Amino acid sequence: MLINCVAYQNGVKLADLPTEEISDYLKRTDCFIWVALRDATNAELAEMQEEFGLHDLAIEDAQHGHQRPKIEEYGDTLFVVMHMIGAIHSELTVGEVSVFVGRNFILSVRNRSDQDFIGVRERCEREPELLRLGAGFVLYALMDTVVDRYFPVIDDLETQLESIEEHLFDQGAARANIEQLYKLKRKVMVLKHAVMPLMEAAGKLHGGRVPPVCATSHEYFRDVYDHLTRINAAIDAVRDTIGTAILVCQSTVSIEQNEINKRLSAWAGIFAVATIFTGMWGMNFQHMPELKLEYGYPLALLVIAATCGFLYYRFKRSGWL
């Protein structure tokens, strides 16, 4: 679906264009075209390829989707893939945006995501002195928006982790906590897979040999790289904390098992003493000491009860019961 197709001259919007007129404006050296597509069909991508002269491999990646975040150069054209991560009711949604950047055009293709870039276009149009820098600045604005949307996601993950940590030492909650921690760990890895490759790629846009289309905006890409570095550090911190929390849960399980074993051992010891007494006094021999005592039976019960009571007291005092 075509979202919009706009021509700009010296940072000022000229007109909304039908796609058939793109080639006419591309011939003008003082203009650049900004096209946005959503869930583009193969026919739409083929039309854009013809208008902008895009490389076959880049178009193939945009068609198939599910690409690793990356930045690739095809001649004078830059091809950028970014993951768009959102959080809905604490569940992550993963979309993808492919961006083609040339000397006088930029084309964004958004897939599997409800997050739009309307605010990005409005922001750029409010700053014509920056939009005058051309397609490179628009690429920065798109990347900056995608990266800034990672911050609420990492905040949500940290909030979930704090909620789990509050119940780490609840009795009998270890199994549920471990399940929640592993689910949270998977979410963290989804964000990690979006941030880490993009951070490595973004380093190419502000240091060393900068692609020509980004030469006028390389200072801005340093800011994007700094944001990605902060997010990556926060992700590593959350992941380390999750690993520690899992170890704490496993230790809690071991402690609970030890407590159960101590209780079982204590009761087994009490009943073992009772079994010894009853076994000894229950032997069917004719000549046995105390066999004909008048109060032998209640006395035997008293001895058994007293002994078991004493053992119970000792186990209780030592914390085994």
Residue partners of 104: CB distance under 8 A and separation at least 6: 26, 28, 29, 31, 32, 33, 134, 135
- Tell me which of 158 and 259 has the higher pLDDT: 158
What does the pLDDT average to over 52-73? 90
Tell me how far CA of residue 108 lies from CA of 42, 48, 116, 122, 258, in angstroms: 15, 11, 11, 16, 59
Q: What is the pLDDT of residues 111-136, one digit of tens each?
A: 888 888 888 888 888 888 888 888 88
Residue at token pair 């650049």 = 32
> What is the DSSP secondary structure assignment for residue 117, as one 8-state letter?
-
What does the pLDDT average to over 93-107? 91
- Tell me which of 20 and 208 has the higher pLDDT: 20
* Structural domains for the chain: 2-253 (3.30.460.20), 257-317 (1.20.58.340)
Angular region, 201: left φ>0, alpha ψ -120 to 50, beta rest: alpha
Per DSSP bridges, beta strands 70-74 and 12-16 are: unpaired
Least confident of 112-116, 186-190, 311-315: 311-315
In 203-217, alpha helices (H): none
Residue 281 has a pLDDT of 64
Residue 320 has a pLDDT of 66
Say if residues 145 and 134 touch (Cβ distance below 8 Å). no
- Per-residue pLDDT band for 79 (boundaries 50, 70, 90) equals very high
Say if residues 184 and 164 touch (Cβ distance below 8 Å). yes
Least confident of 12-16, 29-33, 89-93, 148-152: 89-93
How many CB atoms are located within 10 Å of the residue 198 CB? 27
- Tell me which of 17 and 287 has the higher pLDDT: 17
